[in-house]
Structure 1
Amino acid sequence: MSDAAIKFPVKITKPRESDDPFVVYFPDFDDYTYAESFADSFTQAKEFLKDHLLDDDLPEPSEVLPFASEGQFTSFVSVSRALVN
């Protein structure tokens, strides 16, 4: 396994209510994780990728960002394969 970083697109949705979490969606996995803040969204996204990397359960990463509506933000999140060695 290469030590190169892997990069996946995410879509982060702001909560509608102040006590709701941020939703971090991974279109390539068709799965979600949740975060307490926008900054924490990226931490949770990296943890999600690291967990799937540990399980060797990674789909082919998309090279384009998903569509974002109002209240959403898209980005790529990467994690180094070396983190699990």
Structure 2
Amino acid sequence: MTEIVYKIVEHDGGWAYKVGDVLSETFASHDDARAAADAAAARQELPGDTTDIEFEDERGVWHEETARGDDRPDTEVVDKG
């Protein structure tokens, strides 16, 4: 199963959460960033509808596949304070 890790980081004079190389918006406080990361992580685990999707990979190649609504990743929020 896929795992998605949300990391709480200092960013642009405030705090953000980071998934891979992607940063969220900047939050004024550490607690606000943590709450937003917790909420985003929880949403990732919710089941949805099975649907056809298209996505572009890191080489710029487009793919089509069916995403099962019950195939959700495990999530974790890493917060070193």
TM-score by length of 2: 0.43
Give the structure, 1 or 2, with the largest relative contact order (CA under 8 Å, sep 6 or more).
Answer: 1
* Greater radius of gyration (CA): 2
> Greater share of strand residues, 1 or 2?
2
Return the TM-score normalized by structure 1. 0.41
Give the number of the structure whose residues are more often helix, by fraction: 1
